[in-house]
Structures are given as structure tokens and as C-alpha cells.
Structure 1
Amino acid sequence: MRHRLRDPITGLLFVLPMLVLFLMFRIFPTLAAAGMSLTNWNIGGEWSFTGADNYVRLVNDPNFWSSLRVTLVYTAIYVPLVVLVSLGTALLLNAVVFLRGLFRGILFLPYVTSFVFAGIIWRWIYEFDGLLNGLLAKVELGPVAFMERADLVLPALAVVSCWKGFGYSMLILLAGLKAIPGTYLEAATVDGANAWQRFRSITLPLLKPALFFVLVIETISSFQVFDTIYVMTGGGPAKASYTLIYGIFERGFRFWEFGYAATWGMVLFAVVLVVSLIQRRIVGKEDT
């Protein structure tokens, strides 16, 4: 028995530090938030049990439904954009032979910059007399008030987040492309398949596990967008960029309603879980 348990126990000891960190900073806070959502918790640490009152209040809160709609619209814009950009750059890097490491480092550089720094730079680019409007004015298409128009603010923010975050997904997809055996593509070329046919019939199916992973993490990232909105719009104009995370921030750290903020957080957790399961059903299936 000792001999049979030696390998599992040894493996457990190796993963124990990360397991402790995961329990401390992921599982326990989630359970604590679930419990806090059933209370009226204030900044002084005093609380009283309220049961489902916070959830009833949330159902009747127009700010919640508005923020949920804004978050879903933002996700619908951001996720396809960042996946397409990441996939396109990964395909280009996979085809590059000369100075591939340099190009990969340059494309990954925005990912390691601060969201606050990126927000400040892009706010200047989007300003009425900023760089982008200066270029648009030269071709008589501007200026355009990107940050002041409710119909343009979410696409503008999605572009900023895509520029900031596509580098990580690009590396994941590039690793997936490197794992595809070259003999498959060579055989398809010999059989007369063109580039699009090779991509559709060989590259894309074999890339599905990496693509599913990127789709899930970018969806979670879109539901958790906060830094860019806080720096660039503050939820405006007219709450056109007022997302769920920004609502949680306001409830918790502006109105000091920690119990109600935790309720928003638990609903956000449920929404992300449902969306991830739907993606798993459509894209992932058994082969991931």
C-alpha cells in the first residue's frame, strides 16, 4: 500500500503550494462572496443576514439589466475581434522565417504594458483633436467623437482591449500551429489543396483545442473589463459603457454596499459559467 501511494503523494506534494494558493485566492473568496451576497455587509464589517433580499433587489434593478446588456454587447464585439486578430497574427508569425522572435516580441509588447497606461494613450488618440481624428480629417471623414457617442464607445473600447490583450492569445494559437504535423499540410499540398482548403480542412480542426481555450479566456476577460473603462470613460457617456464589473465597483467602493456588490458578482460568475458551457458545447466538444 505504501508503495502504491508513494507516487500520488509525491505528486501532491509538488502541486501543494499552487493548490494552497488556488484555494486561498480563488475558492475561498468565491465561497465568501456567495455567503456575503446573502447579507447586508457594510464597510465597518458589521453584517446581518438578509437571505435572498439582495437577489430580489437585483432582479428589480434597472442598472443591473442595463449593465448586463452593455457587457453582452461589448463581449459580442470584443471576442470575435480579438480572436480574429490573434489568429491572423499567429498565422503570419508561423509563416515568417526571418527574425520571427523579434516580431513575436514586438507583437507581445502591448500585453505587458499597463491597462492604465494603454487607456491614457488611447484616450489621447481618440480625442476630438487627437491622432486618429487628425488622420480622419485629412481624408475628410472626421473628426468623430468616439468617447462621447453611445454608439461608438463600446467598439472603441473593444479596439483598445484587443490591442492590449491579443498578444497572449496569439502565443497560445502560435503554439497550437507549431504542434500541427507538417506532413499533413505537405500531403494536402501534394493532393492539390490550396491555402484556404488546407486551413479549413487541416489547420482549423487541429487548432480547435487551442482556439477553444482562447475563446474561453477572452470571453472571461471581456466580462471582467474594468481598467480601460475606468480610465477612459468612467461608465459614460450616459452609462453606454457601464459594465457589470464597473457596477460591482460602484456598489462596493462608492456606495459601500458590499453584500449587494457580492450579489452582482455571483450573477456575473453564473453568466460567465453558462457562456463558457455553451462555448464548450459548440466549439469544444469531446476533442478538447
Structure 2
Amino acid sequence: MTSTPAATRPPASRPRTRRPANTTGVWAGILFVLPMLVLFVVFRFVPSFGAIGMSFTDYRLNGDFEVIGFENYSRLVSDPIFRNALVTTLIYAAFYVPLIVVVSMFTAVVLDKLVWGVGFFRGALFLPYVTSFVLAGVIWYWIYSADGLVNGLLQRWQIDAVPFLSGNQWQVLGSLSVVSVWRGFGYSMLILLAGLKTIPTELTEAAKLDGANAVQRFFRVTLPLLRPVVFFVVVIETIAAFQVFDTVYVMTGGGPARASYSLVYALYDEGFKFFDFGYAATIGVAIFALVFVISIIQRRLLDRDET
């Protein structure tokens, strides 16, 4: 048995010493996030839990309150005004959500295919989003009025004027949804455009070589890959539909005959017109619960796979 020379023996392994983790980057990140986190907690979480607690009280304008348990919720269930506002909001959402998703998707696809002037058209289409709802409401109120732009053109063509804001509930809510879509589609358009940019061009090119036309490529390749983004857009626009207030307040005031009386408008009236803050908080909790349940249903339907 021959022994290995000392010069050729592998050196003995030294025990590794753990170096302390560098936490400078972690603390720097926390410091950058902390201001927004504090604002989020103070202006989101605290008011939300405060509203839930207030819904169990008879809260008065001077700050006094009396705990009344579930009386506000019992009143909510039997309140015909709340039921009317719920139906109105659901009809409005049925107009608004599909329309804004289709418009946002169409403009995003068109911008994705452009080869020149993309920045200009992107900014021009996004411009209405930075316009206030009040200003948009004033502009569209004139467009919809009896002697406004649309009815003026209809009269030139010997067509009767359309009561956009004074007709039946379907006419009024459809007209209001068009205003909200015009004002708000730019945000969803940019989200969908960003999602389109992440789809590999090799997949669409392969489908094109297999003989698929543009419509088939969109529905068979693009749309399935874009489903998580579409789900996100549908959820945020559903939330926006249930929060509609500014446009209704400026253009119709909840009328005619409560045809556009939304849930948030009912909350506004109860809280700032009748000063029934406890019941207004109950309506706010109900809106949150409705949006939460609808979002879960939408996730089941639109986002079955992991995002």
C-alpha cells in the first residue's frame, strides 16, 4: 500500500464562516415604501374599519353615537330606495363594463399594430382620462341636450330629438355609460396595450403561417394569452361602475324619477344630505360586499388558470 505524498494531498477543507447578510438594501426599500404605506393605512384601512364600526351605530352630526347593532342592516334589506339604487347600479354596470372593455381592447390592438405616431395617438387617447368627471359631465350635458350637438345634427336630418338624459332608465343609463367610457377607457387601454406587448410575436406568426386570419389569431392566440390582463381590467372597471357618482351628480342629479340614482348617490344623500352617517356607512359596507362577491365570480369565470 503506497502512501500519497504530502505535496499531492488535497488541502484540508476549512470551516466556512457565515457573513452577516447585507440588510442595507432591505432597509432602504422599507424606507422608500414606508410613506406610501403609512398613507395607505391612514386613509384606507382606518376609514374602512371605522365605516364598518359606524354601520352598527346611530352616529350623529355632533360626534355622539349610540350602538344599535344590526338595525341599519335590517333597514337596508327592507329599504325600497336602496333596492332601486342597487338595480340602477347593476344596469349601469351591465352597460359600462362590457362597453369599456371592448373599446379599450379595440384601441389597444390598433395601437399595437401602428408603426408610426404611436406616442402621439397614445397620448391623445389617454387625454380624456386626465379630464375631471365634472368637466366631462358638463361637456356631454351640452352634447346630449335638446339643442346640443347630437340632437342638432339629428334635426338637420329631419330626425326627432332623442331624450338622452330625460327618457326612460335604459336611455339615461346608456347615455351616462358612454360618457364614463369616453372619459375612462384610456387607463384600461394602456394596461391592455402593455399586456399585448408581452405576447411573443412568434406565436402569432406561427398561427399566420398555419393559415389563421386576423380574427382567428386574435381569438385563438392573443385573447387566451391576455386573459389575466382582461380579468384585471374587468375587475377594476366593475369597481368603477359601482362607484359611479360624479357623472350622475353633474348630468342628472339622480333623475329623472331616480332613473340614475346609484348606490354611491344614495350613500351621499344619507350621509351629507340627511346626516344619517350610520346608515350611509351601512350602504358603503354593502357596496364593498357586492363588489367583493362579484369579483370572486368574475375570477371563477375569467381567470380559471393561475395568473
- TM-score normalised by structure 1 residue count: 0.96
**Which residue of structure 1 aligns with residue 253 of structure 2?**
234
- For residue 8 of structure 1, report the CA deviation from its aligned partner: 5.6
The number of residues matched between the two structures is 288
Task: Report runs of 4+ in structure 1 exceeding 3 Å deviation.
Answer: 1-14
**Cα deviation code 1:172-228 (max 9, x no counterpart):** 000001111111111111121111111111100111111111101000000000000
Query: CA, structure 1 residues 227+174, in 2 after alignment: closer, same or farther (shift >3 Å)?
Result: same
**Which residue of structure 2 aligns with residue 176 of structure 1?**
195
**Which residue of structure 2 aligns with residue 132 of structure 1?**
150
**Which residue of structure 1 aligns with residue 115 of structure 2?**
97
Counting aligned pairs with the same residue, the percent is 57
**Cα deviation code 1:101-122 (max 9, x no counterpart):** 1111111110000110000000
**Cα deviation code 1:13-35 (max 9, x no counterpart):** 44222222211111111100000
DSSP-derived class of the 1:177 partner: helix
Question: Are positions 1:75 and 2:101 aligned together?
Answer: no
**How far, CA to CA, are the matches of 2:293 and 2:75 in structure 1?**
22
**How far, CA to CA, are the matches of 2:68 and 2:26 in structure 1?**
44
**How far, CA to CA, are the matches of 1:82 and 1:210 in structure 2?**
14
Q: Aligned letter for 2:282?
A: T
Question: Are positions 1:46 and 2:54 aligned together?
Answer: no
**Cα deviation code 1:73-95 (max 9, x no counterpart):** 00001000000000000011111
**How far, CA to CA, are the matches of 1:106 and 1:5 in structure 2?**
46
**How far, CA to CA, are the matches of 1:189 and 1:152 in structure 2?**
42
**How far, CA to CA, are the matches of 1:57 and 1:3 in structure 2?**
60
**Which residue of structure 1 aligns with residue 45 of structure 2?**
27
**Which residue of structure 2 aligns with residue 278 of structure 1?**
297
Q: Aligned letter for 1:86?
A: S
* Aligned residue among 191, 216, 224 for 1:205: 224
* Aligned residue among 238, 241, 248 for 2:267: 248
**Cα deviation code 1:141-161 (max 9, x no counterpart):** 321111111231000000000
**Cα deviation code 1:229-286 (max 9, x no counterpart):** 0000000000000000000000000000000000000000000000011111110223
Q: Aligned letter for 1:214?
A: V
Larger Rg: 2
DSSP-derived class of the 1:48 partner: strand
**Which residue of structure 2 aligns with residue 192 of structure 1?**
211
**Which residue of structure 2 aligns with residue 152 of structure 1?**
171
Query: CA, structure 1 residues 3+234, in 2 after alignment: closer, same or farther (shift >3 Å)?
Result: farther
Equivalent positions of 1:6-17 (< 5 A) are 6=23, 11-17=29-35
**How far, CA to CA, are the matches of 1:14 and 1:206 in structure 2?**
34
CA RMSD of aligned residues (A): 1.6
DSSP-derived class of the 1:152 partner: helix
